[in-house]
Amino acid sequence: MADQQALDEVVEFTSDLIRIDTTNRSGGDCQERPAAEYAAARLAGAGLEPTLLERTKGRTNVVARIEGTDPSADPLLVHGHLDVVPAEARDWSVHPFSGEVRDGVVWGRGAVDMKNMDAMILAVVRAWAREGFRPRRDLVIAFTADEEASAEDGSGFLADEHPGLFEGCTEGVSESGAFTFHDGGGRQIYPIAAGERGTGWLKLTARGRAGHGSKVNKENAVTRLAAAITRIGEHEWPLRLTPTVRAALTELAALYGIETDLRDVDALLEKLGPAAKLVEATVRNSANPTMLDAGYKINVIPGEAVAHVDGRYLPGGEDEFRTTLDRLTGPDVEWEFHHREVALQAPVDSPTYAKMRAAVEEFAPEGHVVPYCMSGGTDAKQFSRLGITGYGFTPLRLPEGYDYQAMFHGVDERVPVEALHFGVRVLDRFLRTV
């Protein structure tokens, strides 16, 4: 059982890590090293021997291994990223890199995504060192750089260049799961992630005939691009149910006493009410135009126009995604992957999933644990290259009215102290028993 020092340290570590500005603007200027050194020092204080690795100077990763008591058991990867997305201080109630603890809440960029989990891992490992406890399975602890961009300096680099550090690992746990979802009707749902949609960030390029803005031009690149992104934005993607999403819909329907009719999923989602938010983004592929770049003067028709699209596809859905984009862009617009990563799926009937469920239920007996698929992605994509099956498990018990999803990349990101305490207890219980 996590001791009082662990409960104190998880708050201290979350606050300290937030104060270390690891903003990742995707331009290569992020410096995770100070946060990596902070984490490594606390691992070393627990008697471990952390390794610091960089592909690019300052883009530092930390890996350490805890030896388990059962050499025949497959090691488990426990990982979190150190970088965060940008934050504009003028938009926040509290400075985003203050790490301020106010009225029982820790404020700042990374409080949820995901320096809270980094702090939980450190607090649990240090509590074990004080107790002299060793887990059954080897645990590989990894803190990564660059998750908020391409992961080329982080988990991608580790998986490709240092696979030996993860030798034997078959499963991993990381962000975005086991948090409280309040349905507005008194039920508390704890979704555990057992899948991720694939990432298909796209660059669209339309070419045409440059010319004077006052002349007739049937080969206007801007017009061609606008037509293509309108078709993409308005496209209705067909239903595609993966095993994880089927399990989520089935368990949610049972929770609400609704007949499970997967022949009409849209009607089922409507009956689920607010709980539909847990699955509605993952029953289809998606593609959302997000950026435009064209022209350099108002009276000049440019010869080229560029757009970017955030595409996501479900396990087994990439071929459909590619074919659909070919059709929607048409003959006058080319598209390519700006960044591509695989879709993931993890079994919901595994012993590891059962241990996660049991750990949550021990400390939140009023809760209802269900599987779900993440609409976005995590470092689990890169670690899957090593044959590691990934789950999302960052336990947090949250009060009603706290919008967990809005905290990710949002203004006034924050996490309650009690949620961190719950997370340490549940993570400790899970890692002791898995």
Which residues are part of the catalytic machinery? 83, 147
- AA letter at 263: R
Contacts of 269 (CB under 8 A, 6+ apart): 276, 279, 280, 283
Which tokens go with 172?
């991993």
Cα–chain center distance at 432: 24
